[in-house]
Amino acid sequence: MSVESNPIASAAVTACGRIARAGGRRSYTRRVRWDRFFDDLEDQLAAEWEAERAALESEAERLRLARVDLRTRLGGLVRDAEGGVLLELADGAVVEGRPAAVGADWVAVPDAGGRRLSLIPLAAILAIRCSHGDLLRSARPSEGADRLAARVTFALALRDLARRRVGVTIGLTGGTRVEDTTRVLAGTIDRVGADHLDLALHDAGSPRRAAEVRGYRLLPLGGVAWVRIDASAGVPVL
């Protein structure tokens, strides 16, 4: 008797087929679930690695920024600033322009018209106003430090002006307002010591002649807020 003619045998075969198909589906389902499980583990592991890498990079950036000084930030403004800045100084003056050069402990800022140049010791800067973009750009890592510029101190720059016999205007940090003329002196720097300078007083724009000199001042460099010269007179090359 054939299976087809035997209802009981036919039902058994059909049942076995269903069981086999069901077993195959369960096996396939289990395999898919395991595949998803391992995929989830890989995604989780990748996310954890990414989070750890980001944390390490963030910590490294914090450590780098902790070593950045004001001179480096000013160097970043010289290099990458897209707009001008405002420097608020200890004598109450505000110098506007884009920093052109940075020495060991000073910064050179020409005015907007390029007619005058201000040499400003970093110690006299109270605040720097600039755009948020320039602020962030100034904190970027630099390609390489200018070792020559790092050795040009404020005193050395002033000695160069004394050698050239360049007329200067000097602002002193003790002024309470910008119009305080007793804190703004014009003349020629005769000599520069380790921490001070000798200034021969005469009218701004006039050459230093004995008959024109009205007096002398010995000025501690720590009391100088800025030194201003005509841009045509030049500045030490950095």
Most confidently predicted of 145-149, 150-154, 165-169: 165-169
pLDDT at position 6 over 80: no
Nearest CA to 95 among 171, 168, 155? 171
Which of the four pLDDT bands, split at 50, 70 and 90, describes residue 81?
confident
Which of the four pLDDT bands, split at 50, 70 and 90, describes residue 104?
very high
Q: Is 189 within 8 Å of 158 (Cβ atoms)?
A: yes
pLDDT at position 234 over 60: no
| pLDDT score of 79 | 86
**Mean pLDDT, rounded, for 85-109:** 93
Nearest CA to 94 among 115, 81, 78, 111? 111
pTM: 0.70
| pLDDT score of 222 | 95
Strands lying side by side in the sheet with 125-129: 94-97, 85-89, 125-129
The two tokens of residue 227 are 């030194």
| pLDDT score of 238 | 45
- Interstrand relation of 184-192 and 167-172 (parallel, antiparallel or unpaired): antiparallel
Helices (H) and strands (E) in the chain, counts: 5, 11
More confident residue, 84 or 172: 172
The CA-to-CA distance between both ends of the chain, in Å, stands at 110
